[in-house]
């Protein structure tokens, strides 16, 4: 059972936990649980995906309850009418705020994208961020006697694959427990402290015009217990987030 954050006769918005695939994938063909199937069984109705959320990322996932609804929402996303907001637990002290304007080349997967015939080119990718909190713990994880962390809120303009993860790694503040772009020593430390350690990225809020009424839906998604435990390990207060 997934937490339903919003539902009407046109769409449903749920809280996807970290580790759950949105839909069936050639990359993980042995998996048997998917968000689409879970929500379908939960509400007794077929659902249509309208956007992606990485498997290790938790948070808001929007689905249409008809193909027309899904099409309209996808058009809104393409027109950048959906505003997205994320939380990320990062290595080091980030600037208090900033903008990352760094084009990204989509990395093709050897299995899922093996039919692709055109080499991808760099596409614009812009992410604004603001730092919410910092902390340091008296533990030598890498080569310093203390280890530093930041909790940042991010506002990506586009939705490129792994955009936030790659952008934070680009400015040398990778997300904690990012196995693709992160710091292996930090990842190992968190795994030792907490066996359920997961990617420190959470889709916490979206603002989206309703596909039929035009009303702005403003949906917030609370942090789950695993993310809060990651913040505790980093000694970051999470009250009010």
Q: Which two tokens stand for residue 204?
A: 């916490």
Dihedrals phi, psi of 233, to nearest 5 degrees: -65, -35
Cα 20 to its chain centre, rounded Å, is 12
Active site annotation includes 54: yes
State how far the Cα of 178 lies from the Cα of 60, in Å rounded to an integer.
19
For residues 28 and 21, the answer to whether their CB atoms sit within 8 Å is: yes
The strand ranges marked E within the chain are 3-7, 11-16, 48-49, 58-64, 83-91, 97-101, 104-105, 122-123, 126-137, 147-156, 201-209, 216-220
State how far the Cα of 65 lies from the Cα of 67, in Å rounded to an integer.
7
Catalytic residue among 54, 101, 178, 183: 54
Query: What is the number of other CB atoms lying within 10 angstroms of the CB of residue 67?
Result: 10
What would the DSSP string read from start to end of 158-218?
S--TTHHHHHHHHTT-PBTT-TTTS-HHHHHHHHHH-TT---SEEEEEEEEE-TTT-PEEE
Tell me the catalytic residues.
Answer: 54
């Amino acid at each position: 059972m997934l937490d339903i954050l919003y539902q009407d006769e046109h769409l449903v918005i749920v809280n996807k936990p970290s580790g759950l695939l949105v839909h069936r994938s050639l990359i993980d063909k042995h998996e048997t649980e998917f968000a689409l199937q879970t929500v379908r069984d939960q509400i007794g109705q077929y659902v249509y995906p309208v956007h992606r959320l990485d498997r290790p990322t938790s948070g808001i996932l929007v689905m249409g309850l008809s193909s027309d609804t899904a099409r309209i929402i996808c058009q809104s996303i393409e027109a950048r009418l959906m505003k997205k907001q994320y939380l990320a637990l990062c290595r080091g002290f980030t600037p208090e705020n900033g903008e990352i304007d760094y084009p990204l080349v989509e990395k093709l997967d050897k299995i899922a994208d093996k039919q692709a015939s055109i080499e991808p080119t760099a596409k614009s990718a812009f992410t604004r961020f603001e730092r919410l909190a910092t902390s340091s713990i008296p533990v030598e994880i890498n080569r310093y006697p203390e280890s530093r962390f930041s909790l940042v809120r991010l506002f990506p303009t586009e939705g490129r694959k792994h955009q936030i993860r790659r952008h934070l790694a680009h400015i040398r503040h990778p997300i904690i427990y990012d196995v693709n772009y992160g710091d292996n020593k930090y990842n190992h430390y968190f795994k030792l402290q907490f066996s359920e350690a997961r990617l420190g990225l959470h889709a916490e809020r979206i603002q989206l015009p309703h596909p039929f009424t035009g009303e702005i839906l403003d949906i917030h998604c609370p942090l789950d217990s695993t993310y809060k435990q990651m913040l505790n390990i980093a000694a970051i207060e999470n009250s009010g987030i």
